[in-house]
């Protein structure tokens, strides 16, 4: 049974070894990088193409829809679903890498 | 008449069947401890949690009203589609995995622990309760509409039945019962929504996929549906259906509303709490994905429902005489969602100009008089209200030229022109002339949407009071059994209050909901994001930021909606002001942070542990998670 983690007993408490802290810092930097790139896609598709540039995009058309209108009522939602899918895949891979790194440290007796 | 009766019989059958299903599920998954009660024992698979989240999120507003709003507003309606789905991206990327790692019960719990302050906890509890109640009131109104529209049951009886069902399965099963019931409710509501829109798409364009049908040409004609719709809208004096805005204040408004809905969605307590119910961080991420995927099935179809039903509605009633009007018009005319005030030529005319003849009875079915008037010799004074039925009789006299007066200008002035937006979804199956059982199934779907959201919200209210206030602040030594009892009692009380709001809805329901989103965007969202992504932000800046955000947003909405204040802030409507409130919150918090001491080492370690995807004992569980 998974227990809710107790912050004070967690792997990276204040007493954690510097190698472990460094591994978490690296993990966190990659995480933030992935997050920001995906949020840019989110903003461009939704607030950009669906609102700010919708008027300009409306002169083109896709499948019988004016393009700006399509982004506001269809395209942005499709992009959102894919943004979360990509985030899940990338982050779960990053988690695995991080897990292996910690295992490595544990084997070397540094954690 | 025979057909009418059998729709009602079918509706009773479907509503009866689905309600019994919900109760059976609740009985099977009943719980005995607080953990099962609040977070379903944290062992719900990601896929099931995604469905439950989708049902929780898609309320009566999504099911009944959203397609109608898009139908009447065209392009601008996209702000709701983008706002309510885009919020999930924020939720998945910025909040869900970290809150799951934090691993406690509620949002106020996180705020209180991260900022190490019971004041912060209390502010968060008050926000959570207020947001949840405004939302529940909306759901109960949805239940009432379905009961009165389909079953011809008195609204009070309808609300009492609905609340009774929610009460039983929420108190019995807690979060666990609610979660599995919501999975069932998801399938009921999505089927009920998709079947009619597919049918009407085939009827109008020959395409069985509505999203393709919407971009296609009309069957037997050489013109695209959307082009025809824009043409009709312009001919009748409405805004072009697909046209977007140039760089003006309408664009700014849409931008603000969209962003406020996005941040508000991410900050809504009943949505956030869902991510506490899964096994681990990884499952929390997948839950967010599944949730949005399931939600998108409805949200991608809603614009199609909107466009089809608008075209179909206008096409089937414009210029028709009483005898030529379709059956659905006569049916829904009885509910007051659509009314015809003729100008005397015997042909119906729907437009956005003075010659419009289509009206609605509004939520109260009463009209406030603008001047003294005598009905059959009985004087009614200015500002007194009269039933819409009396107005109809008087208007008919005017048509027959035996006294009475033309009431259309008064109704127009009271914003009662045009059909009620809710009719677009509710009447679509009848417009498409679908079988009676499908029409009845839509009623069950609308009820599923309303009840699933209501139950999730009631649990948030209960957990906020029983867990955050009672167990954490008033009586920390309370036993498990006592906490559970308090939790169940609070749900009972909340059901009664919510039921009251359903029977006597507060005025301006849509503005009240705007209030909920504005508050969530300007309070929870910034404080949780900063709590996770900054180790430096301490107690005082966070509380100051929340208070400033809520204060600004709250006073702006109250001023603009109730006190007749001009929307002075760049002309932004109350619905969109949450965006500015959120900026105020971020600015105040970040400006005060360098001036205040950083949080203690214990709190900083807690933030680190939230970011760390593997906690003590968690690594093994991640490997064991088999659902992906």
Going from the C-alpha of A109 to that of each of A104, B59, B276, B358, B449, the distances in angstroms are 9, 53, 33, 79, 54
Kindly determine whether residue B225 and residue A64, on different chains, have CB atoms separated by under 8 Å.
yes
* ipTM score: 0.86
B290 burial via Cβ count (<10 Å: 0-12, 13-18, 19+)? buried
Task: Read off the pLDDT of residues B307-324 as tens digits, 9 standing for 90 and up.
Answer: 998 998 888 888 888 888
Give the Cα separation of A94 and A83 in Å (integer).
Answer: 16
- Residue B580, φ and ψ in degrees, nearest 5: -70, -40
Kindly determine whether residue A92 and residue B81, on different chains, have CB atoms separated by under 8 Å.
no
Task: Say if A10 falls within a structural domain.
Answer: no
Q: Is the pLDDT of residue A47 over 70?
A: yes
Task: Say if A72 falls within a structural domain.
Answer: yes
Give the Cα separation of B52 and B55 in Å (integer).
Answer: 5
Task: Read off the pLDDT of residues A52-109 as tens digits, 9 standing for 90 and up.
Answer: 998 889 899 888 899 999 999 999 999 999 999 999 999 999 999 998 988 888 888 7
Q: Which residue from A12, A51, A58 is facing B254, i.e. has the nearest CB?
A: A51
Query: Structural domain boundaries of chain B?
Result: 2-312+427-624, 338-420
B373: left (phi over 0), alpha (psi -120 to 50) or beta: beta
How many structural domains is chain A composed of?
A: 1
Going from the C-alpha of B618 to that of each of A24, B35, B47, B280, B282, the distances in angstroms are 15, 18, 20, 8, 11
> Could you tell me the residue range of the domain that residue A64 belongs to?
17-107
B621 CB neighbours in chain A (<8 A) are: 2
Written as six digits, the tokens of B190 are 């999505």
CATH number of B2-312+427-624: 1.20.1730.10
Kindly determine whether residue B215 and residue A65, on different chains, have CB atoms separated by under 8 Å.
yes
Give the Cα separation of B589 and B56 in Å (integer).
Answer: 31
Task: Say if A11 falls within a structural domain.
Answer: no
Q: Please identify among residues 12-41 of chain A the ones whose CB lies closer than 8 Å to any CB of chain B.
A: 12-14, 24, 27-28, 31-32, 35, 38-39
10-residue stretch averages of pLDDT, chain B, 628 residues long: 66 86 80 61 75 86 84 90 91 87 77 86 83 76 74 76 78 75 89 90 89 87 87 87 83 92 84 76 86 94 92 88 87 83 86 86 74 79 82 86 84 83 82 81 85 81 76 75 79 83 64 75 90 90 91 87 77 87 94 90 87 55 30
Give the Cα separation of B60 and B594 in Å (integer).
Answer: 45
Task: Say if A38 falls within a structural domain.
Answer: yes
Task: Say if A42 falls within a structural domain.
Answer: yes
Q: Is A63 on the interface with B (CB under 8 A)?
A: yes
């Amino acid at each position: 049974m998974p227990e809710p983690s107790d912050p004070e007993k967690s792997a990276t408490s204040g007493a954690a070894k510097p190698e472990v802290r460094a591994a978490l810092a690296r993990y966190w930097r990659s995480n933030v990088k992935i997050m920001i790139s995906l949020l840019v896609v989110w903003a461009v598709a939704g607030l950009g193409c669906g609102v700010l540039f919708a008027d300009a995009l409306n002169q083109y058309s896709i499948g019988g829809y004016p393009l700006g209108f399509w982004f506001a009522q269809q395209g942005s939602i499709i992009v959102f679903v894919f943004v979360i899918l990509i985030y899940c895949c990338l982050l779960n891979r990053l988690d695995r890498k991080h897990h292996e790194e910690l295992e490595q440290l544990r084997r070397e007796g540094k954690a | 008449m025979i057909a009418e009766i059998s729709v009602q019989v079918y509706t009773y059958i479907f509503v009866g069947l689905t309600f019994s299903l919900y109760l059976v599920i609740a009985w099977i998954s009943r719980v005995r401890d607080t953990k099962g009660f609040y977070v379903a024992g944290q062992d719900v698979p990601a896929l099931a949690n995604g469905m439950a989240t989708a049902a929780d999120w898609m309320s009566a507003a999504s099911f009944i009203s959203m397609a109608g709003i898009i139908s009447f507003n065209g392009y601008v309606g996209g702000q709701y589609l983008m706002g309510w789905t885009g919020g999930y991206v924020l939720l998945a990327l910025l909040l869900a995995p970290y809150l799951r790692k934090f691993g406690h019960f509620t949002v106020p719990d996180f705020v209180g622990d991260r900022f190490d302050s019971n004041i912060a906890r209390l502010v968060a509890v008050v926000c959570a309760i207020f947001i949840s109640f405004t939302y529940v009131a909306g759901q109960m109104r949805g239940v009432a509409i379905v009961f009165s529209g389909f079953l011809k049951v008195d609204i009070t009886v309808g609300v009492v039945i609905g609340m009774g069902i929610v009460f039983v399965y929420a108190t019995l099963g807690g979060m666990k019962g609610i979660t599995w019931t919501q999975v069932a409710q998801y399938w009921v509501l999505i089927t009920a929504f998709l079947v009619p829109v597919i049918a009407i798409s085939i009827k109008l364009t020959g395409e069985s996929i509505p999203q393709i049908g919407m971009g296609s040409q009309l069957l037997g004609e050489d013109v695209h549906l959307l082009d025809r719709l824009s043409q009709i809208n312009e001919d009748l004096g409405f805004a072009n259906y697909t046209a977007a805005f140039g760089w003006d204040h309408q664009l700014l408004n849409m931008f603000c509303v969209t962003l406020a809905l996005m941040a508000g969605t991410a900050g809504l307590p009943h949505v956030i709490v869902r991510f506490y119910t899964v096994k681990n961080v990884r499952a929390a991420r997948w839950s967010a994905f599944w949730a949005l995927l399931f939600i998108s099935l409805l949200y991608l179809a809603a614009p199609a429902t909107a466009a089809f039903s608008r075209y179909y509605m206008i096409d089937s009633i414009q210029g028709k005489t009483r005898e030529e009007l379709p059956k659905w018009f006569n049916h829904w005319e009885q509910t007051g969602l659509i009314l015809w005030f003729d100008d005397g030529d015997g042909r119906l005319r729907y437009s956005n100009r003075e010659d419009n003849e289509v009206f609605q009875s509004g939520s109260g079915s009463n009209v406030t008089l603008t001047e003294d008037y005598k009905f059959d010799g009985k004087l009614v004074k200015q500002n007194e209200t009269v039933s819409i039925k009396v107005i109809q009789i008087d208007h008919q006299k005017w048509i027959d030229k035996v006294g009475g007066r033309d009431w259309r200008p008064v109704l127009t002035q009271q914003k009662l022109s045009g059909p009620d937006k809710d009719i677009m979804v509710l009447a679509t199956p009848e417009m498409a002339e679908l079988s009676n059982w499908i029409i009845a199934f839509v009623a069950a779907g609308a009820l599923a949407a309303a009840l699933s959201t209501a139950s999730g919200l009631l649990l948030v209210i209960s957990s906020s009071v029983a867990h955050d206030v009672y167990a954490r602040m008033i009586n920390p030594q309370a036993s498990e059994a006592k906490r559970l009892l308090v939790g169940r009692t609070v749900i009972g009380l909340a059901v009664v209050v919510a039921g009251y709001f359903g029977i006597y809805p507060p005025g301006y329901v849509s503005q009240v909901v705007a209030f909920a989103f504005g508050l969530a965007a300007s309070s929870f969202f910034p404080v949780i994001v900063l709590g996770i992504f900054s180790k430096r932000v301490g107690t005082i800046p966070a509380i100051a930021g929340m208070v400033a955000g809520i204060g600004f947003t709250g006073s702006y909405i109250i001023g603009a909606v109730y006190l007749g204040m001009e929307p002075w802030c760049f002309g932004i409507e109350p619905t969109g002001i949450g965006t500015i409130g959120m900026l105020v919150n971020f600015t105040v918090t970040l400006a005060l942070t360098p001036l205040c001491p950083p949080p203690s080492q214990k709190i900083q370690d807690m933030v680190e542990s939230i970011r760390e995807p593997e906690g003590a004992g968690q690594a093994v569980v991640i490997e064991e998670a088999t659902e992906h």
